[in-house]
Amino acid sequence: GNSVTQMEGPVTLSEEAFLTINCTYTATGYPSLFWYVQYPGEGLQLLLKATKADDKGSNKGFEATYRKETTSFHLEKGSVQVSDSAVYFCALSRLGNYGQNFVFGPGTRLSVLP
């Protein structure tokens, strides 16, 4: 079946440190891949996405590249800020019986210290 695996954390970094959150997936066909972020007290928000192999999604300094050969979609940021503290979810979407359905990873909690 379809599944998403990501490092569960928590991850604690100092401000301006480099961030990598690993994500790998198992899927039939060619899913789209996403990173969602949940800030404290808020709902999930789309951070970035990639719809085909070798696509790079980017937003707010975050990047992730769709690697079909390694079935990965690792999230990176060169210099994190305190405001990046949140829970990050890797996800894929697959075409189900009634449209696109999501499969999410367990989420990775990131804490950035000043």
Partner 1 sequence: SQTIHQWPATLVQPVGSPLSLECTVEGTSNPNLYWYRQAAGRGLQLLFYSVGIGQISSEVPQNLSASRPQDRQFILSSKKLLLSDSGFYLCVCDRGAHGYTFGSGTRLTVV
Interface ranges with partner 1 (CB under 8 A): 3-4, 8, 36, 38, 41-46, 89, 91, 96-107
Smallest separation, CB 79 to partner 1 (Å): 27
> What span, in angstroms and rounded, lies between the C-alpha atoms of 81 and 2?
33
The least CB distance from residue 111 to partner 1, in Å, is: 19
Q: Which amino acid is at 113?
A: L
> Which of residues 20 and 100 has its CB atom nearest to partner 1 in the complex?
100
Nearest CB to partner 1, comparing residues 13 and 44: 44
